[in-house]
Amino acid sequence: MCAKVAAVSGPVVEVRLSADDARRLPTIGEVIRAPRRHADPLLLEVVNHVAPDRLRTIALGDTRGLAVGDPLELTHAPLCVPVGAGVKGRVLDMLGRPLDGGPPVDGPTRPVLRPSQTTLERRPATEMFETGLKVIDLLAPLPRGGNAGLFGGAGVGKTVLMMELMHNTVQHHQGVSVFAGIGERSREARELWLEMQQSGVLDHVVLILGQMGETPGVRFRTGLSAITVAEYFRDDVSQDVLLFIDNVFRFVQAGNEVSGTLGRPPSRIGYQPTLAAEVAQLEERITSTDRGALTSVQAVYVPADDITDPGVAEIFNHLDSFLVLSREAAAEGLYPAVDPLRSSSSLLASGLVGERHASVSARVRATLAKYEELRDIIALMGIDELSPHDRQAVIRARRLRRFLTQPLSVTEQFTGIAGVHVTLADTLSGCEAILTGAHDELPEQAFYMGGRLEGMLEAAQRDAESAA
Domains of the chain as residue ranges with CATH: 4-78 (2.40.10.170), 82-345 (3.40.50.300), 355-467 (1.10.1140.10)
CA gap 439, 177 in Å, rounded: 40
pLDDT at 171: 74
Q: Among residues 14, 5, 3, which one has the least CA distance to residue 262?
A: 14
| pLDDT value, residue 247 | 85
SS3 label, residue 219: helix
User: For every one of its 468 residues, what pLDDT tens digit does the chain have, with 9 covering 90 and above?
Assistant: 589 999 999 899 999 998 887 788 899 999 999 998 878 899 999 999 998 889 999 999 999 889 999 999 999 999 999 999 899 999 999 999 999 889 999 889 999 999 998 888 888 888 898 999 999 999 999 998 889 999 888 788 887 888 888 878 777 776 788 999 998 888 878 887 887 777 667 888 899 999 888 999 999 999 999 999 999 999 999 888 999 998 899 999 999 999 999 999 988 888 999 999 999 999 999 988 888 889 999 989 888 888 889 999 999 899 999 899 999 999 998 999 999 999 999 999 999 999 999 999 999 999 999 999 998 888 888 888 889 999 999 999 999 999 999 999 888 888 888 889 999 999 999 999 999 998 889 999 999 999 999 999 988 888 888 876
Residue 34 CB contacts under 8 Å (≥ 6 apart), including other chains: 5, 13, 41, 42, 43, 44, 66, 70, 72, 73
Of the residues 23, 97, 114, 185, only one is catalytic, namely 185
Per-residue pLDDT at 468? 63
Exposed/middle/buried for residue 144 (C-beta within 10 Å: 0-12, 13-18, 19+): buried
Is 157 annotated to bind ligand?
yes
pTM of the model: 0.89
Separation of first and last alpha carbons in the chain: 92
184 labelled catalytic: yes
Share of residues in the chain with pLDDT > 90 (%):
60
pLDDT digits (tens, 9 = 90+) for 14-60: 999 988 877 888 999 999 999 988 788 999 999 999 988 899 999 99
Do β-strands 73-78 and 54-59 pair in parallel, antiparallel, or remain unpaired? unpaired
Q: Which among 30, 164, 184, 314 is annotated as catalytic?
A: 184
Nearest to 82 by CA among 116, 50, 107, 57: 107
Q: Given 16, 90, 134, 158, which residue is catalytic?
A: 158
Report whether 152 belongs to an annotated binding site. yes
d(CA 327, CA 309): 18
155 is in an annotated binding site: yes
- Identify whether 158 is a catalytic site residue: yes
Q: Please indicate if the annotation marks 145 as binding a ligand.
A: no
pLDDT digits (tens, 9 = 90+) for 145-183: 889 999 888 788 887 888 888 878 777 776 788 999 998
Question: What pLDDT shows up at residue 165?
Answer: 86
Q: What is the pLDDT of residue 176?
A: 85
153 marked ligand binding residue: yes
State how beta strands 294-301 and 147-152 pair: parallel
> Who contacts 246 (Cβ-Cβ below 8 Å, separation ≥6)?
158, 159, 162, 179, 180, 181, 182, 184, 298, 299
